[in-house]
Amino acid sequence: MEAVYTSPDPETRAEEALLPIKKGRIMTGLTQDAMAEVLGVDVRTLRRYESGEDPTPDAIMLELAERVKCPILVYEHLKGKYHIADELMPSVKEVTLSQAVVNLLNALEELERQHVASKLLAMASDGIIDMTEAAHYSFVLSKLDGVRQAVEQLRYHKKEVNDEGERAL
């Protein structure tokens, strides 16, 4: 798989390490007191969510993500909260639209370069994957995982902020 874009900027990397609830609050520009009021929780509860001491309830995370128009916060929340989600969902970094498109096109070109479609057709022709095809099968799945990751990156790309401070859809 082609390398995906990650920020070399230390401040951006530090922000990526924040729990989604804290990242979302910072995006709103609200204090913990103000955000706690908006979400209908006690400020001590919000602090425990932001520190990771207590898990953030899904409904609160969903409300915050909708408020800041940043659905990747819910994606990150699910991956962090549920082991099975972390296993099944690809890691996704929020990148600009142009970076997400480039990553997707690179992943699709990699499928073509590696003749993944022909390998997949050959395996499917008899309806089974036998022992001689197992390595090809794993290879095909790894390449498709790269495309899946790039698609999710496109879905959750960084939304531009307009002059009023609102994020685009």
| Residues 136 and 104 reside in one and the same domain | yes
Q: Give the tens place of pLDDT for each residue, 92-134.
A: 988 999 999 999 999 999 999 999 999 999 899 988 999 999 9
> 158 CB contacts (<8 Å, ≥6 apart)?
94, 95, 96, 97
Q: In this predicted structure, what is the pLDDT of residue 49?
A: 95
| Residues 47 and 19 reside in one and the same domain | yes
We report the CATH number of the domain holding residue 63 as 1.10.260
Is there a contact between 51 and 18 (Cβ–Cβ < 8 Å)?
Answer: no
How many structural domains is the chain composed of? 2
**What is the three-state SS of 4-24?**
CCCCCCHHHHHHHCCCHHHHH
pTM: 0.72
Residue 161 falls inside a structural domain: no
| Residues 53 and 103 reside in one and the same domain | no
- Domain holding 21, by residue range, is 10-88
Q: How many Å apart are CA 15 and CA 21, to the nearest integer?
A: 12
| Residues 61 and 37 reside in one and the same domain | yes
User: For the chain, what percent of residues have pLDDT higher than 90?
Assistant: 70
Q: Summarize the confidence of residues 49-72 as an average pLDDT.
A: 92
Choosing from 45, 71, 88, the residue where a domain stops is 88
Residue 1 falls inside a structural domain: no
| Residues 146 and 112 reside in one and the same domain | yes
Q: Summarize the confidence of residues 17-29 as an average pLDDT.
A: 88
Choosing from 32, 58, 88, the residue where a domain stops is 88
Q: 140, exposed or middle or buried, with CB in 10 Å at 0-12, 13-18, 19+?
A: buried
Choosing from 60, 88, 116, the residue where a domain stops is 88
